[in-house]
Amino acid sequence: MKRLELTERVCLGIHVFSMAFGLAGLLLVLPNPEFIASLPPFGMELFGWSMAQGGVGYIVLGAIAVALNAYRFLGLRPLLAFVLPTLALSLSSELLGTSTGFPFGAYHYLSGLGYKIAGLVPFTIPLSWFYMGFVCYVLARAALESLSSMPRWVRQVGAIALGAILLTAWDLVLDPAMTQTPYPFWAFDEVGEFFGMPSRNITGWIGTGVVFMTVASLFQRGDEYVYKREQLGLPLIVYVVNFLFGATITLVALDSRFTIPASLSVLFGVIPALLFWRLAPSAASSESDAAIDEAAPVLETVAK
C-alpha cells in the first residue's frame, strides 16, 4: 500500500507540474517566437514534443492519481463502479455532441489531446470526465455525510446534484481557455451566448455529470464513496489546481470580460469545494462518536 501511495503522489506531482509547464509554454513561450528560434535543434525538438504531448500527459496522470487514490480508500469494485459508467457515458455524450451538436452545442476537437476515437473525440476526454467527476462527487458526498439525520438516498441525490454543479463550474473557466485563446484545443461551430460558449453547453455539462454520477451511485453499496476529511486532500488539490489552470489561461490570455465566468467558477466551484472539505466529518470525530455509542449502554446501566 505504501508503494501505491508513493506512486499516487508522484503522479499527482507530475500532473501539477505538467499544468504549470503548460501554462508557461502557452502564456510565455509561444507568444515569443524569438525565444523558440533561439533554442538549439534539440531544444526546439524537445519543446515541440512537450507542447504536443503535454495535454495528454497531464490528463492521463491526473486520472491515474485519482484512480490510485480511490483504489486505496475504496477498493477495486467501487473504483470500477465509477470508472466504467463514467468513461462509457461521457464518451457517448461527447461522440453525440461532436456528431449532432447535442447536448453541448456544435463543436469539434482540434489537435493536442491525443488519438481521437472514431476520429472525433480524443481518448483523454473521457479520462478527464472521470477524474474531475470523481473528485467533485466525493467532495459533495463527504460534506453531506455531516447531515446524518438525512436519509441516505437524500444524501446521494444531493451529492449528485452538487457534484454536477462543481463539475460544471470548472468548465466555466476551462471552455474559454481551450476555445478562445490563440492556441485552442477545441472549437465551437456556433456563436455562443455565454462569453462565446453556447448556453446549452452548461446544461449539457450538468446533464452529463448527473447521468454518470447517478449510474455510478446505483452500484454503490452503503456508504462506499464517503471519504473522511483527512482523505480528501488529493480530491481537493486536483479540483483547485485544475481550476487554476483554466482560470490562469482565461484571465491572462483573454480580455477583462472573462473575469465574470472566472468569478462564477470561484463562486459555484472553488468556494463550495473548500466548504465541502471543511464540512466533511474527520476520522477522529467519527472514532469519538463510535466510542460514545459503544459506551452509552454501559453508562445507562451504571446510571440505573
Any alpha helices (H) in 108-151, and if so which ranges? 124-144
Is there a domain that residue 80 lies in?
Answer: yes
Asked if residue 2 belongs to a domain, the reply is no
Mean pLDDT of the chain: 90
Please report whether residue 157 resides in a domain. yes
pLDDT digits (tens, 9 = 90+) for 9-24: 999 999 999 999 899 8
List the beta bridge partners of residue 186. Answer: 109
Residue 95's SS3 state is helix
Residue 60 belongs to some domain of the structure: no
Q: How far apart are CA 31 and CA 33, in angstroms?
A: 6
Using one digit for the tens of pLDDT, what is the confidence trace for 280-291? 999 865 554 544
| Any domain includes 116 | yes
Model confidence pLDDT, tens digit, residues 211-225: 999 999 998 887 788
Residue range of the domain that includes 202: 75-303
pTM tops 0.85: yes
The domain tally of the chain equals 1
CB atoms within 10 A of CB 16: 20
